[in-house]
Structure 1
Amino acid sequence: MKKIIKKPLIFSGVFLYLDNDKLSIDNFHKHLPSGSYTNNGDSKVQIFDIEYEESYLKMNFGEGIVGPRNPNVYNFDTKEEEPNPRTKNQVEPRQTFAVVDFRTSFVWISNSKKRVALIDLFKDYFKTSSIVVKEIYDEGQFIEMLKSLDNIKISAVPNLFSDSGILSKTLSEEINGYEASVATLSLSYNNRLTNNYLIGKVKSIFEQKNSLKSIVIAGKDENNLGMLFNTEGFSRKIDIEAIVDEDEMFSPEDVYRKLIYKIKKENA
């Protein structure tokens, strides 16, 4: 029996609004029907395959560039170099998955760096509309929803660790002795349930945020869904393990099935 191979995917989510209103599935059906869409640039191509299911828009898209292209590749089996079979006018799009939940106007995407590509596609088909990403969670909501901690990372100029009250003066002076311009304090909790003491520590970090260069706090809510706070805002995340083929390409059907199942649990 052939062994089933799975790999992890992490989806982060944000709210998306169209003309200050939640996204409408009827409006999207009208302007962006199911099918394939291609956006070609001078040296880059974006390919989108979209399909509607219940109250969801499923999006599988890839982006690739013509170059740089090494004329040779290394054959792992023969341990020799051989001519690159990819021609100069061919690209290898990398997989990205996204799901739009029209009930909540929430967009989940497997690579947050590709969010702009989605927004640009929507703008092409909603030309007269304003499309806005909204991070609606504040520090108070994050603290209220945080039920377990995974890790905390704080970066600052070394001497500010003592000024902010996060570390003692002695420890800060020890760190400052390395003469680094920025120091990062990393604390691991391994899914530890929060208590009043830990929540108090998180609150104290937020109170000192103006003295800190960056803050990253990872944890989970009461539904065991991932939460991530950083100085650029709040986002949620969903982790799944999906089937990949012999070329390590994900099965879109398996990705969507597992992601939508977890989204439904999130909305329950």
Structure 2
Amino acid sequence: MMETAERATDRRTVRVEKVMGTAVSFDVRGEGDHDAAVAEAIAWFHDVDRRFSTYRPDSLVSRFGRDAAVLHDPDLAEVVEACERIRSLSGGAFDARIGAGFDPSAFVKGWSVDRAGEILRAHGCEHWSVNAGGDVLVSTPVGHRPWRIGVQHPFDRGALGTVLEAEHLAVATSARTERGDHIRDPRTGGPAVGAASTTVCGPELGFADACATAAFVLGEDGPAWVAGLAGYECWSVLPDGGVLATAGFPRVVHGVPVRTAAASGAAR
């Protein structure tokens, strides 16, 4: 759920594209070349799908580990480096390596949205949101009210767990709501069951996306870990309904109650 106030003179372009196994939605308002920006961003997402899909046998990630030449692709090299950095930061709670293979999906979706945001700005668009399967990046120009970004309630499909208000923010959520125990703990190989839903927000969606996965795997320890990452905040609902949140999490609370943590970490 996203909404924001707009001036009466603002133009608005809304577009939904099925790509990367999900729906990517654009809401572009105000100044800029909307048509060219959205068209280029959509072409970018399809290029990412072609190169990074784990379901395409000829993609770069499918060939990773058996064809060293693929690392000459600068985007893949960037993704590999970022995933290794997050693996190290999280103590292995996030790991794109699968044996000799490589699955950076938990980073690539958000990373591709970050790049799409750069494309929109290059075409003069400053007031927009991009939502890729629930992971959201928003931008707001001076003089406009912030976007409101709803986070799905983990136990009630008809309700919101919390709502964030932000002018410029990336918001990523890892949860069991839609697909059950699909998130694996790379350290054990088993399902991650220490959280019901974990949301991480900050300046970059790729990093937030991967960190939401790591924090979900870390369970009760997830928010305290995120509290140590400069510029990023976390809100996590545990399986028993308890909530942990970092002190800086920017939210208007609906549904699940949140108790603000100390600035140095997170508390229930």
TM over 0.5: no
Structure with the higher fraction of residues in strand conformation: 1
Higher helix proportion (structure 1 or 2) = 2
Normalised TM-score (structure 2): 0.24
Give the number of the structure with larger relative contact order, counting CA–CA contacts within 8 Å between residues 6 or more apart.
1
